[in-house]
């Protein structure tokens, strides 16, 4: 806490509120006593000025385009670390020693299979169901299979549920994919690293040998790492709010999956690639830029803009380089979608509309190009985002549940509806 106080004057009375300092970033005015003292609430739809919790996991400086997991810059983690090490870092706060990491990887790989009965769930869905609908349902259904890890008051159960979800999400997502294309489900292989195992479950078939290309596995791993956490975004806040009622962890993560699906959030990677394809050729870009600027047209440049980043999204930088490497490996560096993306980015970054509003490419702008080059259909993109973000949701959920000051999340409202009135019998209406 700092020595500074914020004062509020209302109807001639003055109230004082503490100012709390974080380790870095904006300080906050502690208004927890506001209602008790003044009988008023604050009003902040969209939470643009509200810190809903304190956290030690992820830090974003939107102006500087900086993203840190437990203090480590995202570009260093994407280049020099790998996803399971990043998972450990997010969950436990420090980088592991070699021995601790090995032990963690073993714990995760021990849980990669899903309960055999869970396969039956898949056949209940239509083959053309969106993978996010399936993933949301199957993750929620985990509470019906793993009864021994649903007690949120038991730290050991919380730990097992966490490891189970990190381990099983690749299996759940790849099984949704296999179901959608009518191929046999592929079991996980615990001798493969996390990303390679996911690619193996998505793209191998029982009739042939499948070798995962290390460049593709590395690109996949980077996508996982870049999406692993992003502080209090909509889906993470959804997970925290769900968890604040002591709902079981599987239900909370399923709620996060549901929220992520929206096109303003995780669904933007699917929408961004669809948009780039719809634009198709560089000569059509001005038409789409004009539409994005036209306030009477709901169209927005997908993969552009961010609530927090008012500068280049640091994840997009890594993603752009990774897209180049993957397309070169595939011998398709002249891929028309990448050409449209690069040109669109150039035009938008020079256009006063985007410059004035500080709209830059976000993580979703290039990720779809990589995922498509790897062989995923657009409908799988958000499910892959969900898989990657699961660890962030879990780390945030665990932090909240372990906080002795935890309270059920219960926002208030500015009521603008009818005042109390008497019921009118239907005959008299
Ligand atoms: N294209 C055109 N105009 C835009 C865009 C865009 N992509 N994004 C924002 N604007 C304009 C918006 O119309 C508004 O203009 P004005 O001030 O004249 O009314 C101004 O910029 C501010 O926009 P906002 O909607 O108030 O900003 P926000 O912080 O509420 O929204 C956003 C952030 C990400 C929802 C929004 O930028 C957007 O819809 N982007 C496209 C979808 C997208 O790429 N989402 C992925 C986000 S990154 C992955 C993730 O974290 O989930």
Tell me the per-residue pLDDT of 66-97, one tens digit each, with 9 for 90 and over: 999 999 999 999 999 999 999 999 999 999 99
pLDDT over 90 percentage in the chain? 86
Mean pLDDT to the nearest integer, 417-426: 98
Q: Whose CA is nearest to atom 19 of ligand 1?
A: 295
Q: Which atom of ligand 1 is nearest to the CA of 307?
A: 29
Rounded to an integer, what distance in angstroms lies between the CA atom of residue 26 and that of residue 22?
Answer: 7
Ligand 1, pocket residues at CB < 6 Å: 230, 233, 264-266, 268, 292, 300-307, 357, 359, 362-364
Q: Whose CA is nearest to atom 9 of ligand 1?
A: 305
Question: What are the residue numbers of the active site?
Answer: 306, 364
Ligand 1: which atom is nearest the Cα of residue 265? 52
Measured in Å, residue 251 CA sits from the centre of ligand 1 at 29
Instruction: Mention every residue, 6+ apart, whose C-beta is less than 8 A from residue 236.
Output: 229, 230, 256, 389, 392, 393, 396
Instruction: Identify which has the larger pLDDT, 335 or 83.
Output: 83
Ligand 1 atom closest to 230 (CA): 51
pLDDT at 312: 85
Give 67 Cα–ligand 1 centroid separation in angstroms.
19
Q: Residue 361 Cα, ligand 1 centroid: separation in angstroms?
A: 11
| Res. 325: pLDDT tops 90 | no
Band of the pLDDT at 1, cuts 50, 70, 90? low
Taking residues 235-263, what's their average pLDDT? 97
Three-class HEC string of the chain: CCCCEEEEEECCEEEEEEEECCCCCCCEECCCCHHHHHCCCCCCHHHCCCCCCCCCCEEEECCCCEEEECCEEHHHHHHHCCHHHHHHHHHHCCCCCHHHHHHHHHHHHCCCCCCCCHHHHHHCCCCCCCHHHHHHHHHHHHHHCCHHHCCCCCHHHHHHHHHHHHHHHHHHHHHHHHHHHCCCCCCCCCCCCHHHHHHHHHHCCCCCCCCCCHHHHHHHHHHHHHCCCCCCCHHHHHHHHHHCCCCCHHHHHHHHHHHHCCCCCCCHHHHHHHHHHHHCCHHHHHHHHHHHHCCCCCCCCCCECCCCCCCCCHHHHHHHHHHHHHHHHCCCCCCHHHHHHHHHHHHHHHCHHHHHCCCCECCHHHHHHHHHHHCCCHHHHHHHHHHHHHHHHHHHHHHHHCCCCCCCCCCCCCCCCCCCCCCCCHHHC
How would residue 348 be classed by pLDDT, with cut points 50, 70 and 90? confident
| pLDDT tens digits, 162-202 | 999 999 999 999 999 999 999 999 999 999 999 999 999 99
Closest residue to atom 41 of ligand 1, CA basis = 302
Closest C-alpha residue for ligand 1 atom 4: 300
Pocket test for ligand 1, best of 305, 365, 385 (most atoms within 8 A of CB): 305
**pLDDT, tens digit, for every residue of 292-318?**
999 999 999 999 999 899 988 999 989
For the CA of 357, the nearest atom of ligand 1: 21
Least confidently predicted of 51-65, 332-346, 391-405: 332-346
What is the 57 CA–ligand 1 centroid distance (Å)? 25
Residue range 143-160: average pLDDT?
A: 96
Q: Which ligand 1 atom sits closest to the C-alpha of 233? A: 51
Please compute the mean of the pLDDT values over residues 101-127 and round it to a whole number. Answer: 96
Q: Does residue 276 carry a pLDDT above 80?
A: yes
- How far is the centre of ligand 1, averaged over its atoms, from the C-alpha of 31 (Å)? 29
Q: In the predicted model, what is the mean pLDDT of the chain?
A: 95
């Amino acid at each position: 806490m700092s020595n500074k106080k914020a004062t509020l004057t209302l109807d001639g009375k003055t109230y004082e509120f503490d100012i709390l300092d974080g380790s870095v970033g904006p300080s906050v005015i502690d208004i927890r006593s506001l209602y008790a003292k003044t009988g008023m609430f604050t009003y902040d739809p969209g939470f643009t000025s509200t810190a809903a919790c304190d956290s030690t996991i992820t830090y974003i400086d939107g102006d500087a385009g900086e993203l840190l997991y437990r203090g480590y810059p995202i570009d260093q983690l994407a280049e020099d670390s790998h996803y399971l090490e990043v998972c450990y870092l997010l969950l436990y706060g420090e980088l592991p020693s070699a021995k601790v990491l090995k032990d963690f990887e073993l714990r995760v790989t021990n849980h990669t299979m899903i309960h055999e009965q869970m396969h039956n769930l898949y056949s209940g869905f239509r083959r053309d169901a969106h993978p996010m609908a399936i993933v949301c349902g199957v993750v929620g259904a985990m509470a019906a299979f793993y009864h021994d890890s649903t007690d949120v008051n038991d730290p050991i159960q919380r730990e097992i549920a966490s490891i189970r979800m990190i381990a099983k999400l690749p299996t759940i997502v790849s099984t949704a994919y296999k179901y959608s294309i009518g191929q046999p489900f592929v079991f996980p292989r615990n001798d493969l690293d996390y990303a390679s195992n996911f690619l193996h479950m998505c793209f191998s078939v029982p009739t042939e040998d499948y070798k995962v290309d290390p460049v593709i596995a590395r690109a996949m791993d980077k996508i996982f790492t870049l999406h692993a956490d992003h502080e209090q975004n909509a889906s993470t806040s959804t997970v925290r709010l769900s968890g604040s009622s002591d709902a079981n962890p599987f239900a909370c993560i399923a709620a996060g999956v549901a929220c992520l699906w929206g096109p303003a959030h995780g669904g933007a990677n699917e929408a961004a690639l669809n948009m780039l394809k719809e634009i198709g050729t560089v000569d059509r870009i001005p038409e789409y830029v004009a539409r994005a600027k036209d306030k009477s047209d709901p169209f927005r440049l997908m993969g552009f803009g961010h609530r927090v980043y008012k500068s280049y999204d640091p994840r997009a930088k890594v993603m752009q380089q990774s897209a180049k490497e993957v397309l070169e490996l595939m011998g398709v560096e002249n891929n028309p979608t990448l050409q449209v993306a690069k040109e669109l980015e150039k035009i938008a970054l020079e256009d006063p509309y985007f410059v004035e509003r500080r709209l830059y490419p976000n993580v979703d702008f290039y990720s779809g190009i990589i995922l498509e080059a790897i062989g995923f259909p657009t409908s799988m993109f958000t499910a892959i985002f969900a898989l990657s973000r699961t660890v962030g949701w879990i780390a945030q959920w665990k932090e909240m549940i372990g906080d002795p000051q935890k309270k059920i999340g219960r926002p208030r409202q500015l009521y603008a509806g009818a005042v109390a009135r008497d019921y009118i019998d239907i005959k008299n209406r």
